[in-house]
Structure 1
């Protein structure tokens, strides 16, 4: 199993929030007003946060704006049943937990917490990358995933960042 930039509800064990508070405040306000395009633009600003991700942001906005309004609002509707923390210790399959170290939406500490609770899991942090390293660091992402499947180790065969 693999997780990438997985959010959790609530706060980290140190009490600090998992989600970017600025993002969440704007999101709550836009959701209350039904500002669908504003929600999409806000989401893409935090998800595709790397300086060279403008094309990814533009493509994501265009694609998401074609979805039905109900689908978009459903995505942003807060779901208190999403708390995965109680499930983590029961996961019994090899798990790679990946996260962009510079994620502007969900702090990488969330993935550190997740990896610390899944027995035998491996954590890989993508240096200089945000919420979607599968798009912004595709070669590295594929290399780490392949290596994890082949060897059970979360590392890049050439260069990368292995988190302990």
Structure 2
């Protein structure tokens, strides 16, 4: 799914994607695997890269991970880009009642598939994505069950609203106007709390506009990076 973005950006940028702990070729995880632990892993990867200019792009809760990294290591990021971020974590504030109810049920019975189907349906809500929903669910079900349980249940420290005023990296907050997973109010809250943030709205798009509006997303990202370069002192 990232291939169109990589093809668009790799001529001008070094793009690094990561298999988070518990997926792909990364090591397994031991629950609870918290957002703080995820941030420590991300920081280790970033430091290993040794990049002098680094733009962090965080998708959904991945943005909360980046905010924790930025708070822990000020000056590390030249800029941050968020996509559908829920700054208050997976609480009631920005998620639907269906999400909260299924999360509680999964906590009781350990069954991940109903929650996974709800999640996939909400993140790929645009009509053109409907044909791929079942294949995405099947792919996700191949992950270790502990990874899935951790993803849906272990982010109890996901609320980053308290640290956002101390995150000074220029931040581009992007959000789909039709996001069914994380309400648009989440983007407004993020922008209101960050010292240096701008908002870009993807009209008519859902939770993952980088996949459903790839050209627009890449244009916005490239313009943001160019603006950062223009602001650097000579």
Match 1:98 to one of 174, 185, 195 = 174
How many pairs does the alignment contain?
149
Per the alignment, in what secondary structure is the counterpart of residue 98 of structure 1? strand
Give 1:40 shift. 1.3
Post-superposition CA distance 1:64-95 (Å, at most 9, x none): 11100111111111533111001111111111
8 Å CA contact retained: 1:30, 1:39: yes
Q: Tell me which residue corresponds to 2:55.
A: none
Find the partner of 1:147 among 223, 227, 231: 223
CA RMSD in angstroms comes to: 2.1
Larger Rg: 2
* Alignment partners' CA distance in 2, 1:24 and 1:53: 24
Greater shift, 104-113 or 46-55, is seen at: 46-55
**1:138 equivalent in structure 2:** 214
TM-score norm. by structure 2 comes to 0.59
Asked if residue 9 in structure 1 is aligned to residue 110 in structure 2, the reply is no
Q: Structure 2, unaligned stretches of length 5 or more?
A: 1-79, 229-234
User: 5+ residue gaps in structure 1?
Assistant: 153-164
* CA apart distance, 1:8: 3.0
Q: Are 1:101 and 1:126, in contact at CA under 8 Å, matched by a contact in 2?
A: yes
Report the TM-score, using the length of structure 1 for normalisation: 0.82
Q: Which moved more, 1:48-57 or 1:91-100?
A: 48-57
Cα drift, residue 10 of structure 1: 7.1
Task: Tell me the distance in 1 between the aligned counterparts of 2:220 and 2:137.
Answer: 28
CA distance in 2, matches of 1:56, 1:108: 25
Q: Which moved more, 1:135-144 or 1:75-84?
A: 75-84
Matching of residue 116 in structure 1 with residue 195 in structure 2: no
Write out the 4+ residue segments of structure 1 that deviate beyond 6 Å after TM superposition: none
Contact 2:89 2:160 in 1 (8 A): no
Q: CA deviation at 1:11?
A: 10
Q: Which residue of structure 2 lines up, in the alignment, with residue 43 of structure 1?
A: 119
| Equivalent-residue separation in structure 2 for 1:56 and 1:121 (angstroms) | 34
